[in-house]
Structure 1
Amino acid sequence: MNAIGVLVVLGLVYLCSPNKKNVKWKFILILLMVEFLITWFMLSTKIRAWIINQIASFFTWLISCANEGISFVFPSAMANEHVDFFFSALMPIIFIITFFDILSYFGILTWNIDKVGWVIAKISGLPKLESFFSIQMMFLGNTEALAVLRQQLSVLKQQRLLTFGIMSMSSISGSIIGAYLSMVPATYVFAAIPLNCLNALLIANMLNPVNISKEEDIVYVPDKGQRKDFFSTISNSMLVGIRMVIVIAAMVIGYVALTAGLNGILGFFVDGLTIQKIFSIIFSPFAYLLGLSGKDAIYVAQLMGIKLATNEFVAMLDIKDKINTLAPHTVAVAVTFLTSFANFSTVGMIYGTFNSVVDEEKSQIIGKNVWKLLVSGMAVSLLSAMVVGLFIW
């Protein structure tokens, strides 16, 4: 059923593709083969989590540095054992943007984009910049990764910008890996991280296939005349960061409030009806394609609905107390599916980020293609879970 599920998801995404003739099947098959190898490596070897942990520790260090600055200005908020979303997920953006802008200023980031992106591009079939972004967003988070590449994004055409939006639905942030590990098994969290990266590339190849020339597949480097002095650069980075924090916060507040309002309207007509329940019914067939049946299939479908309508944290808190009562296969596919930022609030965050880092006209490409972002997020989560499900029974 898991193998059939992979084919069904790929088939549905292909049907959604507006440019079917340009889908690069060669690279999709290559990405799938690489996924199987990585999944075997992550689930069957002792070194599996060490490598991911080393990368994650760097981004955790970045977050800890950011927290030092936040604690200085907001000591009482950061002293709280349960730091809220605004301070834990949004405020670190200010420092992270500044840090990577310093790397860009000295040419370190652009060099990495060019070299690392080139290697991944050979596997993904996408341009170097998009390929590098898939790695970067695995731990940095979608909004932070987009902000770091804002100079690159500012010179791209709308069609390529859409690829970044589509891929952004599949990320997580290094700052919240620790929170995940406190609720669910680490093995499946660490397996989901690289799988989401590869599946984001795969789905982008299908939903938004883009062909560019070698001349276009370059890393943008500002002319020396356009570069400001070092302190002006980092000061501007900090201002860009705080503007992004405000815009993203507004989007998240608005989308969560709209969900609550819609649930209230639905409940008025049908007692107990919510968006979460509607989505759980819609996604119930996919729960069976994950190799589940009976109560487990119904329960995982409910987790899918919760994740899409609210976020993965709520769903993980729900499964946390039930893990010992569930079959290993059910735990594997459920946790892998939940390990990503694929929900309605994330769409708002991505749109808010684009609105902050590129001009309003370019950012409209996200608003016009929200359905593609949602299809991408759910398809990536399903594919990752189905691939892991092939190895755990």
Structure 2
Amino acid sequence: MNILIALLGLAVVFGLAFIVSSNKKAIRYRPLAVMIVLQLLLAFLLLNTVFGNFLILGISETFNTLLEYAAEGVNFVFGGLLVAEGASVFFLNVLLPIVFISALIGILQYTRILPLFINVVGLVLSKINGMGKLESYNAAASVILGQSEVFISIKKQIGLLPKERLYTLCAAAMSTVSMSIVGAYMTLIPPQYVVTAIALNVFGGFIIASIINPYKVSPEEDILEMPDEEKEKEEKQSFFEMLGEYIIDGFKVAIIVAAMLIGFIALIAMLNGIFAAIFGISFQTMLGYVFSPLAFVMGVPWSDAVTAGGIMAIKLMTNEFAAMLNLKTLIDAGTLSDRTIGIVSVFLVSFANFSSIGIIAGAVKGLNEKQGNVVARFGLKLLYGATLVSMLSAIIVGLFI
């Protein structure tokens, strides 16, 4: 039964992507088939093998250790705050460790370890996806640097790109997540689904983009090199200048996420109250009914479909953290099946939400105003595609839970 539902889900995802394709005749099906097979192999490897369990356990323990180190710095600054016994402060325990992780990323970037890793992964991806080296580099870099910072590393090329290639770059940025916040995700949802989602979304982004936005890149167009300005900056910037910059950037991310959560969760609470008073049903439950068919075709049992649909809707309308907090409450309460937890968790691990349209368009506009306006115009189509990427990854995972 799960296989039949998965096939239905794949048909729905690919059908929704095909409907909005800009050039249906240009779709190349062989790379798509290869990448889908790779998604299936990766999901099986990570979730159903001893090696996969060992790998995920190692990654999880690494991040847990890093969070413990981060706690030393957080406790030094905020250790005097009185917190009720057994209580946990989300900002201190989940968000502020982002500062430390960001600093580590800066060190790896400064020592050229990350650029080497990104280039190698990008080269491998370019051999698989049938797209350009720039798109492949960007997908690998997005996982490390995040959806806005990644465009700085390719800012010389942005002004030269046609809208088709620009769409693919932005889709990759919205479909992946920044490594600096992976540790925070792992405190809210099971780590194995965080790792699996990151791996699947890289290929999923290319699969959906290849259907929605098919094109071919000539060797002359496929330029990948670091801008001269960036090279000069790296040569001039000292280690401690770089470290301070990444620490401040990490703190900005923590503050921004905290501010968005305060605003969005308060708005959802208000809407829940208004809808309950007028219609006798909360806003979140209403959204759950709207999104329940999508949850069902992703493989969520029908008994959990409305609840899962509500969490999916919160992610789309606000951000993944707000949705993960809702999911964690239900996980702690034991009200959801393991299958539902896994499928919904994978769906949540991406930046596919309305606020990301503004973030990505703003990041590109800061580097090239004309191209930023282009991104803003296809913003809804970008979100549409990134949401299909999340659905595709969730469907694939559902086959192995």
Class of the TM-score when normalised by the shorter of the 2 chains = 0.7 to 0.9
| TM-score normalised by structure 2 residue count | 0.77
Does residue 23 (structure 1) correspond to residue 32 (structure 2)? The answer is no
Asked whether 1:367 is paired with 2:376, we answer: yes
Give the deviation of 1:224 after TM superposition: 9.6
5+ residue gaps, structure 1: none
Q: Distance in 2 between matches of 1:43 and 1:180?
A: 18
Decide whether the 8 Å contact of 2:285 with 2:307 is kept in 1.
no
- State the alpha-carbon separation in 2 of the partners of residues 177 and 285 from structure 1: 29
CA–CA distance in 2 between the matches of 1:61 and 1:150? 35
- Alpha-carbon separation, structure 2, partners of 1:58 and 1:153: 35
Does structure 2 retain, via aligned residues, the 8 Å contact 1:114–1:219?
A: no
1:198: how far off?
1.1
Q: How many residues align?
A: 385
1:185 Cα deviation from its structure 2 partner: 2.2
User: Which deviates the most, 320-329 or 147-156?
Assistant: 147-156
> Offset of 1:55 from its aligned partner?
7.1
Deviation at 1:87, TM superposition (A): 5.7
C-alpha distance 64-224 of structure 1, shift in aligned 2 (>3 A): farther
> Alpha carbons of 1:277 and 1:222: their partners in 2 closer, same or farther (altered >3 Å)?
same
Give the residue type in structure 2 aligned to 1:29.
Answer: A
Once the two structures are aligned, what percentage of the paired residues are identical? Answer: 32
- Distance between the aligned counterparts of 1:198 and 1:228, measured in 2? 32
> How far apart, CA to CA, are the structure 1 residues paired with 2:281 and 2:350?
26
Once the two structures are TM-superposed, the CA of residue 337 in structure 1 deviates from its matched residue by 1.4
CA distance in 1, matches of 2:262, 2:215: 33
User: What is the Cα deviation at residue 253 of structure 1?
Assistant: 6.5
Work out which of the residue numbers 359, 369, 375 in structure 2 matches 1:349: 359
Change in CA separation of 1:232 and 1:336 when aligned onto 2, cut-off 3 Å: closer
Q: Which of 135, 157, 168 is equivalent to 1:130?
A: 135
Change (3 A) 1:242 1:331: closer
1:311, CA displacement in angstroms?
Answer: 2.1
Is 1:56–1:174's contact at 8 Å kept on the other side of the alignment? no
| Aligned CA distance change for structure 1 residues 271 and 352 (closer, same or farther; 3 Å) | farther
Instruction: Report SS of the residue matched to 2:45.
Output: helix
Distance (whole Å) between structure 1 residues aligned to residue 257 and residue 329 of structure 2: 31
- Distance in 2 of aligned mates of 1:57 and 1:140: 22
1:118 maps to 123
Counterpart check, 1:391 vs 2:377? no
Deviates more, 1:10-19 or 1:93-102: 93-102
Q: CA deviation at 1:179?
A: 2.8
Partner of 2:203: 198
Kindly indicate whether the alpha-carbon contact (under 8 Å) linking 1:316 and 1:338 is maintained by their aligned counterparts in 2: yes
Match of 1:319 in 2: 327
Q: Is the 8 A contact 1:78 1:87 kept in 2?
A: no
Paired residues of 1:41 and 1:48 also in contact (CA < 8 A): yes
Matched, 1:292 2:300: yes
Paired residue for 2:192? Answer: 187
Whole-angstrom distance in 1 between the partners of 2:323 and 2:109: 35
State the distance in 2 between where 1:230 and 1:126 align: 32
Rounded Cα–Cα distance in structure 2 between residues aligned with 1:63 and 1:156:
39
- Does the 8 Å contact 1:100/1:109 carry over to 2? yes
2:218 aligns with one of 192, 213, 223: 213
Q: Which has the larger displacement, 234-243 or 310-319?
A: 234-243
Unaligned runs of 5+ residues in structure 2 are 84-88
| Corresponding residue number in structure 1 for 2:290 | 282
Distance 1:62 1:353 in 2: 29
Q: TM-score, normalised by structure 1?
A: 0.78
> CA separation of 1:288/1:115 partners in 2, compared to 1, >3 Å: closer, same or farther?
closer
